[in-house]
Amino acid sequence: MSNAIVVTDADFEANVEKAEGLTVVDFWATWCGPCRMIAPILDQLSVEYAGKVKITKLDVDSNQKTSMKFNVRSIPTLLFFKDGKLIDQVVGAVPKAALAEKFDKHLV
């Protein structure tokens, strides 16, 4: 079970840049092995942080405009937005504990 929301170039602004609170965007692609490695971790975190962190997923192959706007060159890339402003990023597959630590850091 996941609470992650799929976003696209068309609705990125409404779902991320105009969102209140902490929003995490997972830039990924179906062919990306490390992306598939962190997907279940993000699914777990989306349940554990439900109501506190909004987790979204953006397929870079289908949504190149947003990927280019934020200079995403490697995937997976996780961008952290607080009240619509980019505040942090994680590039590559990292352990769940490292992501949870980032979530906690930005929820303060």
In the annotation, is 32 catalytic? yes
Confidence category of residue 7, pLDDT binned at 50, 70, 90:
very high
Question: Distances from the Cα of 87 to the Cαs of 14, 24, 30, 65, 76, in angstroms?
Answer: 18, 10, 26, 20, 17
Give the pLDDT confidence of 26-55 residue by residue, as tens digits: 999 999 999 999 999 999 999 999 999 999
- Which residues touch 37 (CB under 8 Å, ≥6 apart)? 93
Catalytic residue among 16, 22, 25, 32: 32
Model confidence, pTM: 0.96
- Which residues touch 107 (CB under 8 Å, ≥6 apart)? 22, 52, 53
Is residue 58 within 8 A of residue 28, CB to CB? The reply is yes
Catalytic residue among 25, 35, 38, 45: 35
List, in order of start, the domains of the chain with CATH numbers. Answer: 5-107 (3.40.30.10)
Q: Is the pLDDT of residue 1 over 70?
A: no
Is residue 17 within 8 A of residue 81, CB to CB? The reply is yes
In the annotation, is 2 catalytic? no
Give the pLDDT confidence of 65-101 residue by residue, as tens digits: 999 999 999 999 999 999 999 999 999 999 999 999 9
